[in-house]
Amino acid sequence: MEANERITRSRQYMADHGMSQEAFGKLLGIAESTISRWFGGNYPSPENINAKVDELLEKEGKRKEVKSTGEIGYAETGISREIWNILEYCQAQKCAGCIYGDAGIGKTFTVNEWSRGRTDTIVLTVAPAVKSMKAVLKRIAAKLRVKSSGLLEDLYARLEERLTETDQVIIIDEAQHLSYSTVENIRILADITKTAVIFVGNEVVYSRLLGNTSAEFAQIFSRFYMRRHLLTDQFTREDIEKVFGGMEAGAAEALLEVSRSKYGLRGAVILYINSRNNNDVTEKGLKAMAKVMGIIC
């Protein structure tokens, strides 16, 4: 690729992505001053930069070759309606709730839709690497713009003061990663400050809080005002029609079968998008794509 063409295409890439020259340099791992000289055509040894730019533009070209028709928007399924109602109830009553069940049923998607645009809601996603009590409390503090440095007990006291002054909803997703101590301290903090807190997770949350692995968790579980166990086999044909719109009966049944399997609604959505990108959302097209994707029901 000629130097002028490479620079022209790079500027077009920046324009398409609303990206500054500094941001473009960061994307490539190159200092702003260096990328500026490269754009000016006066960088003495451009080979390394050229290689990185060529790789980036090649990837962009491949992405444009893949026809994409976008994601599937939010639709109110029976399960999402239950999740929505729990969130609304806990918010109104300023109480604790727990939503748990199979992966791929739309828990996170519904939580994000419910909390969209709300200034009184904190949504945290817990990862195995960030699950300690202090790590979680620091992330809550950051959302509330509360000082998070110092001793754990001081952080706890500052959060108690701020939450008492406000009317917040705290939603903790992937809550199965939390320890007993973390769950109990957050629940007590919410109880003292009259803050709604909802723990969202998979079957591990259910088994722990029900008491299958710890009597302590059973004690916490009994204090939750709202609890809901959600499973993939609760999806109905009506839900499929709401999510994907009208389609032939065989196609709808194929998507329902996937939704009720271990792949959940998330798997059905990915299957549908891939099939739609392949211009075939018939029963035959969906099953052919499922085979390609390794989906077995």
Each residue's pLDDT tens digit in the chain (297 positions)? 788 899 999 999 999 889 999 999 999 999 999 999 999 988 888 899 999 999 999 988 877 766 555 667 888 999 999 999 999 999 998 988 889 888 889 999 999 999 999 999 999 999 988 878 899 999 999 999 999 988 999 999 999 999 999 999 999 999 989 887 788 889 889 999 999 999 999 877 656 555 445 555 555 555 555 667 788 989 999 999 999 988 899 999 999 999 999 999 999 999 999 998 888 999 999 999 999 999 876
Q: What is the largest CA-CA distance in the chain?
A: 70
Task: Look at the block and give the residue holding tokens 């299957």.
Answer: 271
The total number of structural domains in the chain stands at: 3
Q: Do 204 and 99 reside in the same domain of the chain?
A: yes
What token pair was written down for 262? 């271990």
Sheet containing 121-125: give its strands across.
Answer: 121-125, 169-173, 196-201, 96-101, 226-230
Q: Do 28 and 144 reside in the same domain of the chain?
A: no
Domain assignment present for residue 203? The answer is yes
Domain assignment present for residue 73? The answer is no
Tell me the CA distances in angstroms from 284 to 113, 252, 279, 291, one per residue in order: 32, 11, 12, 11
Predicted TM-score (pTM) of the model is 0.74
Choosing from 14, 42, 65, the residue where a domain stops is: 65
What's the domain range around 47?
3-65
Give the separation between CA 1 and CA 3, rounded to whole angstroms.
Answer: 7
